[in-house]
Amino acid sequence: MSLPAGDHIRYGGDYNPEQWPTEVWDDDYAAFDLAHVTTLTVGVFAWAHTEPAEGVYDFSRLDAIVERAHAQGRDVVLATPSGAMPPWLARAYPDACRVDLEGRRHVYGQRHNHCPSSPDFRRLSVAMADRLAERYGDHPAVVAWHVGNEYGGACYCDLCAAGFREWLRARYGTLERLNGAWNTLFWSHVFGDWDEVVPPSMLSEHWRGPNHTAFQGITLDYRRYMSDRLREGYSDEKAAIRERSALPVTTNLMGFFQPLDYHRWADDLDFVSWDNYPPLPDDPLRTAARMAATHAAMRGLKGGQPFWVMEQTPSTTASRDVNPVKRPGVLGLWTWQSVAHGADATLYFQMRQSKGACEKYHGALIDHSGRTDTRVFREAAELGAGLARTGDALLGARTPARVALLLDWDSWWAVEMTDGYNRHVSYLQTLLQHHRALWSLNAEVDVVPVTADLAPYDVVVAPLLHLLKGDVVERLTAHVEGGGSLVTTFYGGRVDEDDNAYCGVPPLDPLLGTRVEETDSGVPGAANPVTLELDGVATTHDATLVFELLVPDEGTEVVGTYGADFYAGRAAVTRARRGAGSAWHVATGLDDAGLARVLRHVLTGHGLVGPHADDVGVEVARRVAPDGTTSTFVLHHGDAPVTVTAQVAGEDLLTGRVVRVGDDLTLAPAEVLVLRG
């Protein structure tokens, strides 16, 4: 089971016509025609009107919506409505609402807030999925299933506590093993009975918030459990659908979303879809890099399979403190970027702007004015036309990459809930910093789990690989010895899968050829200058936050040294040659330029620096179709026109313009080329 069938890059998005009288629907479809909209996501929040009371189903409105779409030649992605329960459900079953980290039972409100252990919620949501599959499973308009919506959060109720205990029994088998994993002799926590275990909350192990816990092991397991628990709800709905429908099933993920381990969700998704709402673009290039990283991570959930962008906004968000409009061209630029990195569909939230409640000022294809002569609509329509022009040329195409960036939720969780050394270390920002250095070189990068097959890659970059699990050390060693490069950082390989520190010689040390004798840390902004000696050139860079004091093994090459404090002159960056390859240890928080220098050196060694690596703001990315045809995307993220010497050739799929290597190539702001040939 893989992606939905289709013959084009899908375009459209969330459509909630139940909020409007049917005469408005006519206007909607007229606008859809203008914008080349092909695909509509319906039913996401339909529970209240499809089951107005328990067991009373009324599909009349949904029927009308699906029929109309079909009549107008549109495909439908049909959602189960479990992302937002109706009022009657919360009233009848109060324990369908969550208990939060503060121990408070919530009552009815908002969305994405059901207790994943509530038997009533699960029964009713699965029954609804079953009914929907029964009714629409064979409908010719329906092309895929969208279960729930943006799963997330956590519940701390008694039912979840009971579930946690079962999950622990399954994981550990015995209390002895559990007590060992959690190191419970520390602070007298030895559990003598499974029922003594309570969820780690602000009323038990936590202080200050979700990342401050007395027992990292308990909290880590609760995160794993809660990720699994929410997934069970998804999977139960999926199973109910599968009984009646052979169509692919997904749910819309949220990119780098810390609460859920998407790597553990991936097997249950037929295809990946995600919602692209990057943070406020204070720096357009950072935003672009971040989106590229997220596309790669989402693509990496299912081994490089193309994915869908299930949501993005055509203009503004509403939930941020400040919600600027997307600048001219940016909608197209970002949409094409998603396609460049593997998207086979690019959809909006939403088709028509709601008139009330908290998303009434969130952008939409059709805004409150209902007009189609606005800048936003015009840009969206132009984009729709451009996507249509590509036909099926890009569909299913893969993105080749020989650089792997390792992403691991366990390390993410462990690093950020650790007491010591430095609370200012952000797993995600560190990962993104490493990605940004690679992206700025137009290197092709996959963001993959630590369990991924490393054979396709020449370079593996593993920032903050704090927690080691499975055979990762063996595989990294084989990768290096087989000629690959490995780049790791401070905090690497410190703890095992239970978040217990390695004693004696940590297992990653022999590969890296280093021992960490001490770990110093500094407040944000307090820098130690690190001098890098690479290719015969010395440069000096700020290093901040964490300073590992290394003792290199004999033969380990010192590439960077600290310049200040009592460890001035000691190793800060090392390279150990192992077999045909090298293992790098970047033992401190190098600044962007320093890190980029190390990574460029490593990529250069493998011939993996991409085209236009020195043309700031010019992104290049490739997709290779099943038939081997390569499309090379050239995207200009700068806000001024730029003229570069073309380093890739082909005919632009959008305009027919032919580019030859060596040409003067002038790119307008937000300009996109899709070169083939």
Residue 440 CB, shortest distance to a second copy, in Å, is 25
Task: Kindly state the smallest distance separating residue 330's Cβ from a second copy, in Å.
Answer: 10
Active site residues: 150, 311
Of 231 and 362, which CB lies nearer to a second copy in the complex structure?
362
How far apart are CB 379 and a second copy at their closest, in Å? 11
Of these, 70, 139, 169, 189, which contacts a second copy (CB under 8 A)?
189
Out of 65, 85, 126, 298, which residue is the one contacting a second copy (CB under 8 A)? 85
Contact 62, 55 (CB under 8 A): no
The Cα–Cα gap between 253 and 309 comes to 9
The reply to whether 125 sits near a second copy by the rule CB under 8 A is: no
Cβ 437 to a second copy shortest distance, Å: 25
Instruction: Give the sign of the dihedral formed by CA 398, CA 399, CA 402, CA 408.
Output: negative
Residue 85 phi, psi (nearest 5): -80, 150
Residue ranges in 491-520 that form contacts with a second copy under rule CB under 8 A: 498-505, 515, 517-520
Least separation, in Å, of the C-beta of 80 and a second copy?
12
257: contact with a second copy by CB under 8 A: no
Choose one: 233-241, 313-321, 479-487, 621-629; the region binding a second copy (CB under 8 A): 313-321
Size of the site for a second copy (CB under 8 A): 113
Element (H, E) at 49: helix 47-50
Q: How far apart are the first and last CA of the chain?
A: 31
Among 315, 411, 430, 485, indicate the residue that binds a second copy (CB under 8 A): 315
Among residues 33, 232, 236, 359, the one that binds a second copy under rule CB under 8 A: 359
For residue 469, the minimal CB distance to a second copy (Å) is 15
Residue 310 phi, psi dihedral angles, 5° rounding:
-80, -30
Question: Which of residues 7 and 188 has its CB atom nearest to a second copy in the complex?
Answer: 188
Quote the tokens at residue 398. 């893969």
The residue from 328, 396, 529, 677 that contacts a second copy (CB under 8 A) is: 328
Q: Which is nearest to 35 in space by CA: 93, 74, 86, 77? A: 74
Report which of 126, 84, 121 is spatially closest to residue 243, judged by C-alpha positions. Answer: 126
Which residue in 166, 196, 243, 474 binds a second copy (CB under 8 A)?
Answer: 196
Which one of the spans 65-73, 201-209, 300-308, 447-455 is the region binding a second copy (CB under 8 A)?
201-209
By CB under 8 A, which span of 188-196, 243-251, 301-309, 332-340 interacts with a second copy? 188-196
Token code pair at residue 457: 């890659």
Measure the CA–CA gap between 254 and 181, rounded to whole angstroms. 31
Binding region for a second copy (CB under 8 A) out of 126-134, 263-271, 312-320, 622-630: 312-320
Q: Among 303, 324, 569, 579, which residue sits at the site for a second copy (rule: CB under 8 A)?
A: 324
Q: Exposed e or buried b for every residue in 610-641, given b needs 16+ CB within 10 A? A: bbbbebebbbbbbbebeeeeebbbbbbbbeee
Burial class (CB in 10 A: 0-12, 13-18, 19+), 647: buried
Nearer to a second copy, 357 or 537 (CB): 357
Give me the least distance between CB of 468 and a second copy, in Å please: 14
Taking CB under 8 A as the rule, does residue 164 contact a second copy? no
Touching a second copy, residues 204-223 (CB under 8 A): 204-207, 213-217
**Can residue 187 be called a binding residue for a second copy (CB under 8 A)?**
yes
User: Does residue 607 bind a second copy (CB under 8 A)?
Assistant: no
Burial class (CB in 10 A: 0-12, 13-18, 19+), 191: middle
User: Three-class SS of residue 589?
Assistant: strand
Strands 557-562 and 571-578: antiparallel
Scanning residues 91 to 120, which ones bind a second copy (CB under 8 A)? 91, 102-111
Residue 24 near residue 59 (C-beta atoms within 8 A): no
60 versus 645: smaller Cβ distance to a second copy = 60
491: preceding bond cis by omega (within 30 degrees): no
Token couple for 518 = 């001490």
- Token readout for 509 is 């040390």
> Which residues, 627 to 656, sit near a second copy by CB under 8 A?
none
Q: What residues between 6 and 35 interact with a second copy by CB under 8 A? A: 16, 18-19
C-alpha closest to that of 148 among 252, 62, 53: 252
Q: Which stretch binds a second copy (CB under 8 A): 82-90, 476-484, 577-585, 659-667?
A: 82-90
> C-beta of 656: minimal distance to a second copy in Å?
28
Distances (CA, A) of 604 to 69, 443, 462, 535, 609: 52, 10, 18, 11, 6
Task: Draw the binding track, 366-395, toward a second copy (x: CB under 8 A; -: no contact).
Answer: --xxx---xxx-------------------
Question: Under rule CB under 8 A, which residues in 278-307 are in contact with a second copy?
Answer: 280
Segment 404 to 463, residues that bind a second copy, using CB under 8 A = 418-424
Nearer to a second copy, 266 or 325 (CB): 325
Q: Cα–Cα distance between 356 and 110 in angstroms, integer?
A: 14
Distances, alpha carbon 249 to alpha carbons 112, 131, 145, 259, in Å: 19, 16, 5, 22
Does residue 322 belong to the site contacting a second copy (CB under 8 A)?
yes
Q: How far is the CB of 200 from a second copy (least distance, A)?
A: 7
- From its phi and psi, is residue 333 left (phi > 0), alpha (psi between -120 and 50) or beta? alpha
Structure token pair of residue 665: 């190539």
3-class SS at 616? coil
| Minimum distance of a second copy from residue 177's CB (angstroms) | 13
Q: How far apart are CA 516 and CA 584, in angstroms?
A: 14
**From 197-205, 259-267, 552-560, 611-619, span contacting a second copy (CB under 8 A):** 197-205
Closest distance of CB 45 from a second copy, Å: 4
Residue 566 in contact with a second copy, rule: CB under 8 A: yes
Residue 491's closest CA among 470, 512, 460? 512
DSSP 3-state assignment of 475?
A: helix
Residues in the chain, total? 677
- Give the footprint of a second copy on residues 30-59 (CB under 8 A): 45-49, 52-53
Of positions 10, 36, 263, 362, contacts a second copy by CB under 8 A: 362
